[in-house]
Amino acid sequence: MGGVFNSPAGKLVRSWLFQGVLYMSPDELLFRIAAEVAVIGAVWWLIADPVSWSGVLAVIVVHTLFWLVNSHFWALEIRKGVRLVKNRPQAVKNYLEALRGRCTRCRSIKWCFASGSLARGAFGVYSDLDVACIPRPGNWNRIVVLAFGMRERLIAAFKRMPVELYCYSEEALAHISPEECRLVLKGPGKADGDMQRWMSWDCFWDSPSEFFQQCE
């Protein structure tokens, strides 16, 4: 059974079922479920008829739609070390620059940074972009950032970018590898003790080659 689940088809099925929710914080998971249920309700209302399977159809259609545009679809690893799209350094830089601008305009975001292989100098042709957003204190800011995350995953889907974006609390910073030199898209950088290893956007933009050693 393990071979079936780890096959490309099996990974697609698992991706469709779970859609990255296993890595979400409880409030992000609740926000995602609420959004999907709301869209399912709207679609069900639009297609409702005496046929009993109209609700099942609404669930399948909406869940598939969310899978394609809001679940890190392009970051899916279909085989070991291989994803659905190849990275191009210029496209990645352009996307990160645009994301940085969107983060700057969102006042509810306190920090946003890229971690993972990009922050370890091991970003390759089939690497994904791990992005974390940290909201400012307050429930409203948290809701705004959760909505920002959903919109950003939609943008990444249409841009064909292998982005894995999640919204975290400040406490989650302690669990990020100290070996990473995280790329700060928005935030205080050196001002915070948990962000001692970081690279500013200006440094990254001027000399990104170390981030793309395996991506040419």
pLDDT of residue 191: 45
Most confident of 57-71, 132-146, 191-205: 132-146
pLDDT of residue 143: 95
pLDDT of residue 97: 92
Contacts 24+ apart (CB under 8 A), 146-149: 146/27, 146/28, 146/31, 147/31, 148/102, 148/106, 148/108, 148/109, 149/28
Report residue 34's pLDDT band, with 50, 70 and 90 as the boundaries: very high
Rounded to whole angstroms, how far apart are CA atoms 42 and 145? 24
Average pLDDT over residues 37-64: 83
> What are the boundaries of each domain within the chain?
2-71, 82-212
Contact 67, 73 (CB under 8 A): yes
Cα–Cα distances in angstroms (integers) from residue 177 to residues 96, 161, 180, 187, 198, in the given order: 21, 23, 6, 18, 12
pLDDT of residue 149: 95
Report residue 208's pLDDT band, with 50, 70 and 90 as the boundaries: low
Report residue 144's pLDDT band, with 50, 70 and 90 as the boundaries: very high
Class of domain 82-212: alpha beta
Vertex 97 angle, CA 190 and 123, to 5°:
75
What pTM does this model have? 0.85
Query: Considering only CA atoms, which of 158, 167, 131, 135 is closest in space to residue 31?
Result: 167
User: H-helix or E-strand containing 163?
Assistant: strand 163-167
Residue scoring higher pLDDT (150 or 176): 150
Average pLDDT over residues 5-14: 79
